[in-house]
């Protein structure tokens, strides 16, 4: 029986897992990438976010979504970048539940970790959900390796991968909110078993997969090298980078990078 389940899962993988050609899909588009930090809730910009051509969300964003969040972060979801681990409390992305995803009219479920373990997780998804499964877009390995190379022995988070793809595309505009690289807490409801920044950093250290400061420095490198014509950051991330400029006594932000506050004064 098990061998038939594996064969059917592999059949679904071969037929439903597709190459994620993000360069083609993002070209010329206005893209918003929404993270899980509390900074996404400083301003009521839900309508502003939903007006973007493409909205990217990460992991548990849809599973933990509450109606009162819409005025802050909108509801539109074109791409959900998920780690394909369905647990809630130990770094997982939550259930891969299309009954929930369909309420957001989700267009694309994405596996951005395209090494062996990432592809195996997609295979396990098809083996588990069988005919109830949907198409999964899998990032080409060459792009995952480009991101992974920045981290040496650590791995990029799914949030970083979302940012990395947007900033390495030919998008017209990119807006980032809800990313503070663990310098502020998660938003309420996203990961309530870990409330404070200190608890979050200890959790990351225990897992050993990610490095918060390393990821932040890699983000700064990707941001600086990006050729996107217009990059908007939420106020919290903009302040964090300005503080980093003072610490390093050097300029990081180029003229194409602005705070969202500059649009809504």
Q: Residue 265's pLDDT is what? A: 63
In this prediction, residue 187 carries a pLDDT of 56
User: Which portions of the chain are predicted below pLDDT 50?
Assistant: none
- Provide the whole-model pTM: 0.92
Q: How far is CA 33 from the centre of its chain?
A: 7
pLDDT computed for residue 110 by the predictor: 98
pLDDT in tens, 220-252: 999 999 999 999 999 999 999 999 988 888 899
- pLDDT score, position 173: 98
pLDDT of residue 184: 75
CATH ID of 2-262, from 2.60.40, 3.30.450, 3.90.1480, 3.30.70: 3.90.1480
pLDDT the model gives residue 194: 63
State residue 87's pLDDT score: 82
Q: What is the pLDDT of residue 185?
A: 57
* pLDDT of amino acid 191: 59
């Amino acid at each position: 029986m098990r061998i038939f389940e594996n064969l059917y899962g592999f059949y679904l993988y071969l037929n439903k897992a597709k190459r994620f050609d993000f360069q083609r899909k993002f070209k010329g588009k206005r893209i918003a990438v929404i993270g899980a930090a509390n900074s996404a809730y400083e301003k009521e910009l839900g309508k502003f976010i939903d007006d973007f051509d493409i909205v990217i969300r990460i992991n548990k964003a849809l599973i933990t979504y509450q109606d009162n969040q819409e005025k802050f972060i909108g509801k539109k979801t074109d791409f959900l970048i998920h780690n394909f681990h369905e647990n809630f409390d130990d770094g997982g992305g939550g259930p891969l539940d299309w009954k929930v995803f369909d309420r957001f009219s989700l267009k694309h479920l994405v596996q951005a970790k395209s090494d062996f373990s990432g592809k195996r997780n997609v295979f396990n998804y098809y083996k588990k959900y069988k005919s109830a499964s949907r198409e999964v877009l899998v990032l080409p390995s060459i792009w995952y390796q480009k991101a992974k190379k920045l981290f040496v022995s650590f791995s990029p988070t799914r949030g970083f991968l979302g940012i990395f793809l947007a900033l390495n595309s030919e998008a017209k505009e990119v807006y980032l909110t809800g990313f503070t690289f663990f310098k502020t807490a998660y938003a309420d409801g996203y990961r309530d078993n870990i409330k404070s920044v200190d608890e979050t950093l200890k959790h990351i250290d225990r897992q050993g997969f990610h490095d918060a400061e390393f990821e932040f420095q890699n983000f700064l490198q990707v941001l600086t090298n990006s050729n996107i014509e217009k990059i908007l950051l939420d106020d919290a991330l903009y302040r964090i980078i300005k503080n980093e400029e003072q610490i390093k006594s050097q300029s990081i932000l180029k003229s194409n990078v602005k705070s969202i506050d500059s649009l809504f004064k």
